[in-house]
């Protein structure tokens, strides 16, 4: 039996942080050998908020190197740049025309991001989840590993696929495969170092709120030293009054590879002065091999170029077949 297909993407905006690593990439690395995988850099999504053309290409490229450095294995995974496969834009248009506007207006992420932008909300921001649906549906993905924040977009993708199938499919032969989300329970949400109730995010104006995958050891030490804590001695998980404590213990758990029970026992009598250096060292050691590998890959750009070239070709060969299937179902005149 052939392997199930996994697909996921990450926006190529800003620098990747521990939330991206623990909530997304580490998850993919862990499961990749059980599946046939497609992982891509969502540079079309990256311009749904104001962007700087001078850094877009470099962000996308660096991200590809980080994926490889984190352990994405090209024997079972294809990595590519979203904008290199034009079927993503084209299927988005077709899906747009069957997606009710009020489905998009309901999206939490749209409402949150739109609020931040005031008058300047582009149509692309509203359409973001439709592009995401196209990303997923083009590859007949069975499973889509994402963080919890993307769950609603996955539901929408399923609804759009269902609608295309209902409207245009013949009962026994659905046109699009309806994918399942794959949400990791632990570490699914890494919170800000400055506020344990807010998600760690690339767009937070304060760099102290996040640890980036490429942060050097001294920066990691400084950020953890300055991170928000509370005046209580003894560290515990799951206390709603202590969101920072829960977040930092969870980070330690994930980065050290220990179980929750082990960490709870180890830290129950600790104060912050003892815990913070421990977390800093654990973070530095967890990121060290990734940073070393990243350096090697960036020293060999021919290799990275060829990986992305091959990835785009492989992705396009799958995506174009799905696109042709959808166009056929919608009644388009084939190219003559």
Helix H, strand E, coil C: the string for 138-156 is: CCCCCEEEECHHHHHHHHH
How many chain residues touch ligand AMP (CB under 6 A)? Answer: 17
What's the min distance (Å) between Cβ of 149 and ligand AMP?
5
Q: Does 223 qualify as catalytic in the annotation?
A: no
199, 221, 223, 276: the catalytic one is 199
State the DSSP string of 216-285. Answer: -HHHHHHHHHHS---S-SS--SS-TT-HHHHHHHHHHHHHHT--HHHHHHHHTT--HHHHHHHHHHHHHH
Q: Does 113 qualify as catalytic in the annotation?
A: yes
Q: Which stretch binds ligand TRP (CB under 6 A): 60-68, 131-139, 203-211, 290-298?
A: 131-139
Between the alpha carbon of residue 132 and those of residues 8, 189, 201, the distances in Å are 10, 20, 19
CA dihedral 272, 278, 282, 288 (to 10 degrees): 110
| CB-facing half-sphere around the CA of 314: CA atoms within 13 A | 18
Query: Could you say which of ligand TRP, ligand AMP, none residue 195 binds, taking C-beta under 5 to 8 angstroms by partner kind?
Result: none
The correct pick among 36, 43, 127, 135 for binding ligand TRP (CB under 6 A) is 135
Query: Could you say which of ligand TRP, ligand AMP, none residue 200 binds, taking C-beta under 5 to 8 angstroms by partner kind?
Result: ligand AMP
Show the site string, 187-226: x = touches ligand AMP by CB under 6 A, - = not.
-xxx--------xxxx------------------------
In the complex with ligand TRP, the residue whose CB is nearer, 19 or 196, is 19
Q: Does 327 qualify as catalytic in the annotation?
A: no
- The answer to whether 284 and 217 have CB atoms below 8 angstroms apart is yes
Q: Does 242 bind ligand TRP (CB under 6 A)?
A: no
Q: Does 150 bind ligand AMP (CB under 6 A)?
A: yes
Count CB atoms within 10 A of the CB of residue 228: 16
Give the CA diameter of the chain.
Answer: 74
Q: Does 146 bind ligand TRP (CB under 6 A)?
A: yes
Question: Binding residues for ligand TRP, per CB under 6 A?
Answer: 7-11, 42, 45, 132, 135-136, 144, 146, 150
The catalytic residue positions are 113, 199, 202
């Amino acid at each position: 039996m052939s392997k199930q297909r996994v697909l996921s993407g990450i926006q190529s905006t800003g620098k990747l942080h521990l939330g991206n690593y623990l909530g997304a990439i580490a998850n993919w690395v862990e499961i990749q050998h059980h599946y046939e995988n497609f992982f891509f850099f969502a540079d079309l999504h990256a311009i749904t908020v104001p962007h700087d053309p001078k850094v877009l290409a470099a962000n996308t490229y660096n991200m590809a190197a980080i994926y490889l450095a984190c352990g994405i294995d090209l024997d079972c995974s294809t990595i590519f740049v979203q904008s290199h496969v034009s079927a993503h834009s084209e299927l988005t248009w077709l899906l747009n025309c069957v997606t009710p506007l009020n489905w998009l207006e309901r999206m939490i992420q749209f409402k949150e991001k739109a609020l931040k932008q005031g008058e300047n909300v582009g149509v692309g921001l509203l359409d973001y989840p439709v592009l995401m649906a196209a990303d997923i549906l083009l590859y007949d993905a069975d499973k889509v590993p994402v963080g919890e924040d993307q769950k609603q977009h996955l539901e929408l993708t399923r609804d759009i696929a269902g609608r295309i199938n209902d409207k245009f499919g013949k009962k026994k032969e659905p046109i699009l495969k309806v994918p399942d989300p794959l949400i990791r329970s632990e570490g699914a949400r890494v919170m800000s170092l400055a506020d344990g109730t807010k998600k760690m995010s690339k767009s937070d104006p304060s760099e102290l709120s996040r640890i980036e995958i490429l942060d050097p050891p001294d920066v990691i030490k400084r950020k953890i030293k300055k991170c928000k804590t509370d005046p209580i001695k003894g560290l515990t998980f799951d206390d709603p009054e202590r969101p920072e404590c829960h977040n930092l213990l969870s980070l330690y758990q994930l980065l050290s590879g220990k179980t929750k029970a082990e960490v709870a026992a180890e830290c129950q009598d600790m104060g912050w002065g003892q815990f913070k250096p421990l977390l800093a060292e654990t973070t530095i050691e967890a990121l060290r091999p990734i940073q070393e590998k990243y350096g090697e890959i960036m020293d060999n750009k021919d290799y990275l170029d060829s990986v992305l070239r091959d990835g785009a070709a492989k992705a396009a060969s799958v995506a174009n077949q799905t696109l042709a299937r959808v166009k056929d179902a919608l009644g388009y005149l084939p190219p003559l």
